[in-house]
């Protein structure tokens, strides 16, 4: 058995130090909201938040709580619920560093780290306003064809990847299903922290029908049990968004006092579903 699957939720959150680059997935891939709550309970600060490739309520809450120094993302949005209030305010006030990106650029830079490359080329950026504001992205001549400029991006190597899935096993393996972006994040990051709905005694890699969708324990630093750990967001086909809870967050986040009330009352997913 692997002891990394026996860690408590608060101990998992305590592994993320102030100032870390923290990679988190888009809302539909499996967001570790329970772990996010624990990060804020210990007042984490100075995060470089990398949204893969977009952020939502998780990013907005972290920004509102003062935990983020830099955010790198192609968008932060609450989708059909409306704009993300604290991210929108920071864009207007320039309170934090916002490193604008694109979805392909985020994935490509992570893939560079995954492959051990210092940088990676990417088409489609020349002539865009995004390129104008990214001094760390360079335009070079294609060494194999004259008159063919191309953008190169430095590899993105997060200190930590953090996400939530339905299942892990006692050996430290994690089921990621069709969410291949979670695999990419884990391969690129120095450490991967995962919260799960359930932990099984069966080795997930022993099932040939499922093994291709399992992140091996080699890439996993710690696993914590957190039933309904993505709440109020959906988790794949396991449970849906809690629309009322998301709408309530947006209503409270209109003011700093309301946001503080949200943080003080933020329940875990199990209690919210009861």
* 135/226 same-domain check: no
Confidence (pLDDT) at 6:
74
Q: Is residue 112 part of a domain?
A: no
* 145/17 same-domain check: no
* 72/148 same-domain check: no
Asked if pLDDT for residue 259 goes beyond 70, the answer is yes
pLDDT digits 0-9 by tens, 233-244: 999 999 999 999
Q: Is residue 77 part of a domain?
A: yes
* 40/88 same-domain check: yes
Phi-psi region of 259 (alpha: psi -120 to 50; beta: other; left: phi over 0): alpha
Q: Work out the pLDDT band at 49, boundaries 50, 70, 90.
A: very high
Q: Return the structure tokens found at 270.
A: 């199990």
* Nearest one of 53, 85, 83 to 71, comparing CA atoms: 53
Q: Is residue 111 part of a domain?
A: no
Q: What is the mean pLDDT of the chain?
A: 95
* 259/144 same-domain check: no
Q: How far apart are CA 14 and CA 156, in angstroms?
A: 23
Q: Is residue 163 part of a domain?
A: yes
* 136/242 same-domain check: no
Confidence (pLDDT) at 1:
56
pLDDT digits 0-9 by tens, 60-109: 999 999 999 999 999 999 999 999 999 999 988 888 999 999 999 999 99
Q: Work out the pLDDT band at 274, boundaries 50, 70, 90.
A: low
Supply the CATH number for residue 179's domain.
Answer: 3.40.1080.10
Please give the span between the terminal C-alpha atoms of the chain, in angstroms, as a whole number: 32
CB 99 within 8 A of CB 59: no
Q: Return the structure tokens found at 263.
A: 């943080």
Segment 174-182 shows an average pLDDT of 97
Q: Return the structure tokens found at 104.
A: 């392909």
* 81/202 same-domain check: yes
Confidence (pLDDT) at 19:
98
Q: How far apart are CA 253 and CA 249, in angstroms?
A: 6
Q: Is residue 127 part of a domain?
A: yes
CB 163 within 8 A of CB 22: no
CB 195 within 8 A of CB 12: yes
1 vs 235: which has the higher pLDDT: 235
* 50/129 same-domain check: no
Q: Is residue 108 part of a domain?
A: no
* 140/168 same-domain check: no
Q: Is residue 166 part of a domain?
A: yes
40 vs 1: which has the higher pLDDT: 40
Question: Which residues form the domain of 84?
Answer: 3-101+157-207+216-273
Cα distances from 141 to residues 105, 111, 126, 130, 255, in angstroms, run 19, 21, 12, 19, 50
Domains identified in the chain, total number = 2
pLDDT digits 0-9 by tens, 215-228: 999 999 999 999 99
* 169/78 same-domain check: yes
Phi, psi of 193, rounded to the nearest 5 degrees: -115, 130
Partners of 154 in beta bridges? 119
- The model carries a pTM of 0.96
Question: Residue 200, Cα to own-chain centre: how many angstroms?
Answer: 24
* 145/162 same-domain check: no
Q: Work out the pLDDT band at 45, boundaries 50, 70, 90.
A: very high
Q: Is residue 179 part of a domain?
A: yes
Confidence (pLDDT) at 2:
67
* 254/268 same-domain check: yes
């Amino acid at each position: 058995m692997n002891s990394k699957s026996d860690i408590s939720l608060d101990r998992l959150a305590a592994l993320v130090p102030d100032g870390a680059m923290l990679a988190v997935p888009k809302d539909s891939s499996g967001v570790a909201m329970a772990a996010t709550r624990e990060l804020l309970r210990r007042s984490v600060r100075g995060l470089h938040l990398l949204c893969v490739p977009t952020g939502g309520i998780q990013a907005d809450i972290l920004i509102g709580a003062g935990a983020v120094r830099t955010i790198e993302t192609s968008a932060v949005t609450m989708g059909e619920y409306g704009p993300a209030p604290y991210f929108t305010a920071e864009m207007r006030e320039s309170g934090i560093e916002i490193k604008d990106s694109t979805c392909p650029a985020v994935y490509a830079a992570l893939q560079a780290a995954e492959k051990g490359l210092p940088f990676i080329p990417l088409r489609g950026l020349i002539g865009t306003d995004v390129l104008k504001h990214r001094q760390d992205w360079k335009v070079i001549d294609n060494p194999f064809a004259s008159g063919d400029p191309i953008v190169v991006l430095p590899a993105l190597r997060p200190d930590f990847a953090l996400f939530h899935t339905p299942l892990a096993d006692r050996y430290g393996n994690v089921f990621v299903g069709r969410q291949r972006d979670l695999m990419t994040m884990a391969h690129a990051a120095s450490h991967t922290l995962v919260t799960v709905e359930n932990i099984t005694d069966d080795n997930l890699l022993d099932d040939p029908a499922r093994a291709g969708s399992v992140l091996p324990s080699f890439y996993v630093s710690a696993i914590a049990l957190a039933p309904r750990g993505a709440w109020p967001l959906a988790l794949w086909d396991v449970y849906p968004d809690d629309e009322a809870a998301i709408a309530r967050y947006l209503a409270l986040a209109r003011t700093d006092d309301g946001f503080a009330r949200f943080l003080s009352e933020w329940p875990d997913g199990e209690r919210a579903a009861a």
